[in-house]
Amino acid sequence: MSIEQTFGTVLQEYRLNSKMSQEELAFNSELDRTYISLLERGKRKPTINTVFALSKALKINPSQLIKELEEKLSNQKI
């Protein structure tokens, strides 16, 4: 799985755990819902600004999002 796809999986997991729809996450992060969908499907690469906006909307630290991504990627390579 690519970094983009893994990021999308992590993002979707955090969003669902927060009981948010893509539309709610988009509104809270001031991003477009279709962009959230593209991110979750691994079709787009998020910028650092996007990571911070998503993290703020999810009420987590950006480092938490990146750490989860890093852990999932390292588990894939084992």
So where are the chain's domains?
Answer: 3-76
**pLDDT (tens digit, 9 = 90+) per residue, 1-47?**
899 999 999 999 999 999 999 999 999 999 999 999 999 999 999 99
Whether 65 and 55 have beta carbons less than 8 Å apart is answered as yes
Q: What is the DSSP letter of 78?
A: -
Q: Six-digit token pair at 76?
A: 């894939």
pLDDT band with cut points at 50, 70 and 90 for residue 77: low
Q: Residue 1: what pLDDT?
A: 85
Task: Decide if pLDDT at 78 tops 60.
Answer: no
Question: So what's the architecture of 3-76 in CATH?
Answer: Orthogonal Bundle (1.10)
